[in-house]
Amino acid sequence: MPALKPRLLALALLPCCMTLQAAPLDQALDESQRLAEDAKASQARIEALDDETRKMLNEYRNAVQQAEALERYNAQLRELVEAQRGELASLDRQLQGIEQTQQAVTPLMSRMVEVLTEFVQADLPFLPDERADRIAELQELLPRADVSLAEKYRRILEAYQIESDYGRTLEAWRGELAAGDGEPRSVEFLRLGRAMLYYQTLDGHESGWWNPQTDQWEVLDSSARRPIAQAIATARQQQAPAFLELPIRTLAKEAAR
């Protein structure tokens, strides 16, 4: 029996020892679990900080790129402003030049219209209404502020060109002839350049010409009727061009030169 007691005692103490050993193990497991959770939480915080850092880094990079883009844009704006300033300076110089040109050209254009008026008045009296209207339009055009200087000059040159063309053409038209104190008659007029101006009545029974020395119409003899009628038909393109034997006075020719 004495030997059995120690064994019983050892068996009795065994659960106590196991209980005492189990307590630190549980604590170690709990601590290990806590440490693992803390590590997990720390890792999560680290990952969150890493994401935030990446986000901030991306925002920084975007901010740097925007700043560089704005700097380039500002540089372009500065170049544009400088270019516009140069353009404005050029326009200002051009405007000053235009003003000086206008001061010089305006009197010249007025004189050109005056010369044209005097020329028409001294010329053969053909197309009087048409030519007078053209000169009147130029006289009304010159003082207008809504018409450019170039347009005014173009219209004056156009009128000069029309008058110049009269000297190289054969033209016929119907109009009213005022002769003396009688009633105006409808006649066919014929212009041979600026050298001669004829008329013929519609019935073909009377022909005449303008004498620049006497500034009046004169009746021609019957031999002039046929040539003048042929010239009128040619001018109206009613017959093919042909050699014309029109009466021409030396006196009228000298006056026309």
pLDDT digits (tens, 9 = 90+) for 135-144: 999 999 999 9
> Could you give the CA distance from residue 153 to residue 141 in angstroms, rounded to a whole number?
10
Looking at the chain, the whole-number percentage of residues with pLDDT higher than 90 is 38
> Could you give the CA distance from residue 146 to residue 22 in angstroms, rounded to a whole number?
112
* Burial tier of 191 (Cβ tally within 10 Å: 0-12, 13-18, 19+): buried
Q: Which of 52-66, 138-152, 160-174 has the lowest mean pLDDT?
A: 52-66
**Would you give the distance in Å from CA 69 to the centre of its chain?**
35
Q: What is the pLDDT of residue 179?
A: 65
What is the average pLDDT across 186-199?
Answer: 93
Q: How confident is the model at residue 256 (pLDDT cuts 50, 70, 90)?
A: very low
Helical axes 4-122 vs 128-141, angle rounded to 10°: 130
> Could you give the CA distance from residue 149 to residue 132 in angstroms, rounded to a whole number?
22
Q: What are phi and psi of 216, to 5 degrees?
A: -155, 165
Q: What is the pLDDT of residue 132?
A: 95
What is the average pLDDT across 122-132?
Answer: 92
Residue 171: HSE in the Cβ half-sphere, 13 Å Cα cutoff: 15
Parse the chain into domains and list their residue ranges. Answer: 99-166, 170-257
Q: What is the pLDDT of residue 252?
A: 41
* Helices marked H in the chain: 4-122, 128-141, 149-166, 225-235, 250-256
Which is it for strands 207-211 and 196-201: parallel, antiparallel or unpaired? antiparallel
Q: What is the pLDDT of residue 82?
A: 81
Q: Which amino acid is at 170?
A: L
Q: Given a cut of 60, is residue 214 above it in pLDDT?
A: yes
Q: Which of 18-22, 99-103, 175-179 has the lowest mean pLDDT?
A: 18-22
166: tokens are 């009269």
**94: left (phi > 0), else alpha (psi -120 to 50), else beta?**
alpha
Q: What is the pLDDT of residue 253?
A: 43
Of residues 79 and 88, the one with the higher pLDDT is 79
Of residues 188 and 87, the one with the higher pLDDT is 188
Q: What is the pLDDT of residue 69?
A: 79
Cβ(174)–Cβ(186) under 8 Å?
yes
Mean of per-residue pLDDT scores for the chain: 81
Q: How confident is the model at residue 233 (pLDDT cuts 50, 70, 90)?
A: very high
pLDDT digits (tens, 9 = 90+) for 8-50: 545 455 455 555 455 666 777 777 788 878 778 878 787 777 7
163: tokens are 């008058």
How many residues can be counted in the chain?
257
DSSP state, residue 220: P
Q: What is the pLDDT of residue 9?
A: 47
Of residues 96 and 13, the one with the higher pLDDT is 96
